[in-house]
Structure 1
Amino acid sequence: MTCPFLVYSCWQNSGSMVSYRPDAAGKTPFFEGPYMQQVREEGIVLRRVDYGETSAIVTLLTRHHGLVACMARGMRRKGKPGLSGVLDTLNRVECSFTLRESRSVQTLTEAALLDWRPALRTDPVRIACGAVLAEAALQLGESGETETLFEVLENGLTALAAADTPKLPGLAAAGLLQLVHAAGIAPVLDCCADTGEPPDQARFLSPDLGLVRLQRGIPIARETALALAVLPRGDVIPDTRTGLACLAALAGYTGMHTGRDLGSARVLAQMIYAENKHENAL
């Protein structure tokens, strides 16, 4: 007689596990739950939210599975300080988790640190620029476009870690533009999309088209339009002031597509304005 509490597991060629359990009478097994798969993946930590007294929900942008939210149980216990540091925001990690398609939050089983980006954490402005790219990747990933976001985000964070301070806002704008392009919603920037005129004639950044002269959108200055036009080339990075203007315009453009405010871009601008005001007062 079959034990009614016995669970049978059948591993398919794909590595997924299907679980069956006999009913109370020990008769024909029935389907117990959804497909499960143990996944080992490389990912970038985008967000970490404390859960309960000792756990946290960590959102990762993974190389092959896109955005994955994982429950890291017990990671904030006093006896596990290392795991908490491994899962800091912007860290690149190798992690293992149990994937169930029916669940929005997966179970994290293991995490190892690959790169904690020490150069990126040298000053608040640099880390704030990284936060802009992480928030944008999170929002664009939630829209379902994740195939190349991992590589673009990794390259953007690497560039920020190596850049001179005056170029940081411009590099953040360039990284945001690359993320938008990877998500398939890149704006037209080489001319006015509504009239065909050169980009220096643009007066707005339209969420539907890109640079425009007559149609309404996000108001931009002439120098901002020119900087946006050469930004995709990657070899011309604007100064701090123009870089912030480009970043603000692209953050507004991204927000119009995702339906959410890119708040980290506004925080970055406030930080830089406060630093400049302090330096001018000395």
Structure 2
Amino acid sequence: MTLYRDSAVVLRTHKLGEADRIITMLTRNHGQVRAVAKGVRKTSSRLGGRLEPFMHVDLQFAVGRTLDIVTQAQTIDPFSRRLGGDYRAYTAGTVMLETAERVVPEDSEASLPQYQLLVGALRALTEQRQPAGQLLDSYQLRALAIAGYAPSFGLCARCGAPGPHRNFNAASGGILCDTCRVPGSAAPSAVTVALLGALLAGDWEAVTASDDRSRREATGIVNAYVAWHLERSLRSLAHVDR
């Protein structure tokens, strides 16, 4: 039997047979992995509580024919326990998990930056470093940037002309100058454009100084950008409490 170890964040689970579950995880070194956890739905199982969504765990896997098998699990960070009492943080975290599942391909060797970003975002949520909605917007922009879809909020996304610009188009890659503007482009305020750049860069001093109107407008733009590149809206967004 071939064994290997990796650390992971549990993204999703679903039932298999009478007592097993299939666990979908974002791992440090193997991208997105789907593995079977045998017997975890039994009350006597010692693995069940460690293999719930949000849990950050160190795992041992046995290589299987179709799906690998989780043979050991040790808790690193019990994010699920810390988020359960905060509805806003919990719903924002759920969107983070769904985003990670969509942007990281299975068995990707380039998963480390995405893994580190997700762990850092979940830790920031549990420690309440910033409002949950702002952490979510920042996480999604940065996850897409790592995946190769970094939006432009300074230079024109088409011709590279220096900003500031006031036309946003998700299909074009971000902010456009007046010459490159395409029909259907949004026209966010200059303050919102600056806020979007701060969210992408992780400039929390600038984010904290922003006003509620700009934050709402920025969230709408982030949602549109994510939906365009993932080719559909995220189901969990409907439950987010901002």
Deviations 1:127-174 (CA, angstroms, capped at 9, x unpaired)? 111111111111001375524110011111111222267x22111111
Q: Indicate yes or no: 2:72 matched with 1:110.
A: yes
CA distance change for structure 1 residues 248 and 52 in 2, over 3 Å: closer, same or farther?
A: farther
Corresponding letter in the other structure for 2:182: Q
Structure 1 gaps of 5+ residues are 1-16, 18-36, 273-282
Q: TM-score, normalised by structure 1?
A: 0.72
Deviations 1:83-112 (CA, angstroms, capped at 9, x unpaired)? 221111111011111235x63x32111212
- In the alignment of these two chains, the number of paired residues is 230
* Counterpart contact for 2:167–2:175, Cα < 8 Å: yes
* Counterpart contact for 1:206–1:217, Cα < 8 Å: no
* Counterpart contact for 1:206–1:216, Cα < 8 Å: no
Root-mean-square deviation over aligned CA pairs:
2.5
Q: Indicate yes or no: 2:4 matched with 1:42.
A: no
* Counterpart contact for 1:174–1:231, Cα < 8 Å: yes
Q: How far apart in 2 are the matches of 1:189 and 1:211?
A: 5
Q: Indicate yes or no: 2:173 matched with 1:206.
A: no
1:98 is aligned to 62
1:250 is aligned to 222
CA distance change for structure 1 residues 136 and 239 in 2, over 3 Å: closer, same or farther?
A: farther
Match of residue 232, structure 1, among 200, 205, 212: 200
Q: Indicate yes or no: 2:182 matched with 1:182.
A: no
CA distance change for structure 1 residues 239 and 267 in 2, over 3 Å: closer, same or farther?
A: farther
Deviation at 1:43, TM superposition (A): 0.5
Q: How far apart in 2 are the matches of 1:205 and 1:168?
A: 25
Deviation at 1:188, TM superposition (A): 0.9
1:53 is aligned to 18
**Which range moves more in the overlay, 217-226 or 150-159?**
217-226
Deviation at 1:241, TM superposition (A): 5.3
Q: TM-score, normalised by structure 2?
A: 0.83
Q: Percent identity?
A: 26
Corresponding letter in the other structure for 1:108: V
Q: How far apart in 2 are the matches of 1:245 and 1:52?
A: 45
2:83 is aligned to 120
2:186 is aligned to 219
* Counterpart contact for 2:32–2:101, Cα < 8 Å: yes
Q: Indicate yes or no: 2:156 matched with 1:192.
A: yes
- Higher relative contact order at CA 8 Å, sep ≥6: structure 1 or structure 2? 2
Q: Indicate yes or no: 2:34 matched with 1:69.
A: yes
Tell me the SS of whatever aligns to 2:172: coil
